[in-house]
Every structure is written in C-alpha cells, then in structure tokens.
C-alpha cells in the first residue's frame, strides 16, 4: 500500500465494546492531510480508544477505518504505520537505553529506510525540532518535556501521512506548552501530514486546531471550528456541568 497517495483518514460508524461496556458507539470522524483536527472530551469519553482504533492497536467491533478508499480496519498496527499512520502515546514509550537519534532511526528503518538514510532522516528531524544537541543522549537522561518531544519526533521519523498525538502537552509547564503549540502548528507545512490532536489543555487545542471533534460517553457530541466549539452550550455542559450555559471553555 503506497503511503504517498493517502489523502484522507476516516472512521465510519466505528463502535468498540469491551464486554458489556461500549467505549465508542457509531463514531464518524475524518482527517485530511494538511489539517490539524482536535479530538476532545471529558475523561472516559473514548478519545484514546479512537486513536487506538485509527492506528490499529484496537480493532473496531463494528464500523470501518479507511485510508482513502481502502478499508484498513483489520490490518495490524505495523501495517497501518507502514501505510502512513503514525502515533505518539500518553506515555512516551521510548527505548530508554538507546540514544535519541537511535530511537528515531529505528522508526525510520521500520518504515523501510536503510541505516544511513534512516540516520540522516532522524538527524534532520531533530535539527528542525531544535533537538540536534540531544541526539547522542540516552533517552533515560532526558527531561520530561524532551521525552514528549522525542516521542513526537519518532512518530515523524515514519514520514506519515497522518500523525496522531495523544496528549502531548500532558505535564508540561506554560513555556513548554507554548513551544509545543508552535511546533504542532508547523507540522502540516513541514511534513505534509494531517494531525489528530488529543489534548485536555484547551489553550493548546484552541490555539492550533482548525476543526475540533468532541466525544462524550463514546459518542460524537459536536464538531466545528474552535470558536463554534467554545460557544457550544452542549459541549460546555459536558465539560463544566449543567450550570455552564453562560460560560465558555477555559483557554
């Protein structure tokens, strides 16, 4: 499957059930290359389950995941990554005994590059992200913020058509969040990818996303521009409670 031709990643009527518990129920979601889509919702809304399904780490109980017109719902996570869908995790999951550059090179080799071009790709990404000076550091020596950034860099080393970022700002301070916002905003132009961003930090979501999709209780609650979502009374009630009709999401 050629990754270069993939222009749209879609979930169509996706449901996921764990025993009698439905984590997702009939969710439709679409991400185009070159755009940044936010995926938000209260705790337990199904956001990470949605990313797991999109990236092949969880098979849907029903519905389909499509890359353009190709159903990839039953492919393994490795095959979906090779087709152009990369992800980061809430926990960085780095190879901690390896260097930063080696972590990225391993990902690039997994995407089909030989060792030398994989290293060149890794160093190029690190330089662009301002991490070139940390290329030879072991990952177990990194600060928390640098771990988060290296996790994103490793996903980019796959040269994806779509990058799925699961709470990249978690645990970051204000200055780190500002730098992360600038980085994410530049990803589509630099790498030509679409970005799906799960994040609880509303300043990050409202600052970089063109569209926002809201989940609640495993179902789609709303979708629209940041301004539309911020003013949506249904979304405000889901986040802030029944008395939130005159309030907006805090940014």
Nearest to 184 by CA among 220, 153, 144: 153
Ramachandran category for residue 186: left, alpha or beta (phi over 0 → left; psi -120 to 50 → alpha): alpha
* DSSP run (H or E) holding 154: helix 144-156
Q: Which residues contact 216 (CB under 8 A, 6 or more apart)?
A: 41, 42, 45, 238
Fold of 8-240: Rossmann fold (3.40.50)
Handedness of CA 227, 230, 235, 237 (dihedral sign): negative
Other C-beta atoms within 10 Å of 2: how many? 8
**Distance, CA of 72 to CA of 14 (rounded, Å):** 13
For the chain, 251 residues long, give each residue's pLDDT as a single digit of tens: 444 558 999 999 999 999 888 999 999 999 999 999 999 999 899 999 999 999 999 999 999 999 999 999 999 999 999 999 999 988 778 999 999 999 999 999 988 899 999 999 999 999 999 999 999 999 999 998 899 999 999 999 999 999 999 999 988 889 999 999 999 999 999 999 999 999 989 999 999 999 999 999 999 999 999 999 999 999 988 876 655 445 455 54
């Amino acid at each position: 499957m050629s990754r270069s031709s993939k222009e749209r990643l879609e979930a169509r009527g996706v449901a996921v059930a764990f025993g009698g518990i439905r984590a997702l129920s009939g969710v439709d979601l679409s991400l185009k290359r070159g755009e940044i889509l936010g995926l938000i919702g209260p705790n337990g809304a199904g956001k990470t389950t949605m990313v797991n399904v999109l990236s092949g780490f969880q098979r849907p109980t029903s519905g389909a995941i499509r890359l353009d017109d190709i159903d990839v719902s039953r492919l393994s996570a490795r095959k979906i990554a090779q087709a152009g869908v990369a992800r980061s995790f809430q926990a960085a999951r780095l190879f901690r005994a390896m260097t930063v550059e080696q972590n990225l090179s391993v990902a690039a080799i997994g995407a089909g590059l030989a060792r030398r071009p994989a290293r060149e790709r890794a160093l190029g990404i690190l330089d662009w992200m301002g991490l070139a000076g940390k290329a030879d550091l072991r990952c177990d020596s990194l600060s928390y913020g640098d771990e988060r950034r290296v996790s994103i860099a490793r996903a980019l080393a796959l040269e994806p058509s779509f990058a799925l970022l699961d709470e990249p700002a978690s645990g970051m301070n204000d200055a780190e969040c500002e730098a992360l916002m600038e980085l994410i905003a530049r990803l589509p132009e630099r790498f030509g990818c679409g970005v799906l961003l799960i994040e609880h930090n509303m300043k990050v979501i409202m600052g970089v996303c063109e569209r926002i999709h809201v989940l609640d209780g495993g179902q789609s609650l709303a979708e629209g521009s940041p301004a539309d979502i911020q003013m949506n009374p249904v979304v405000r009630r889901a986040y802030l409670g029944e008395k939130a009709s005159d309030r907006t999401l805090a940014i």
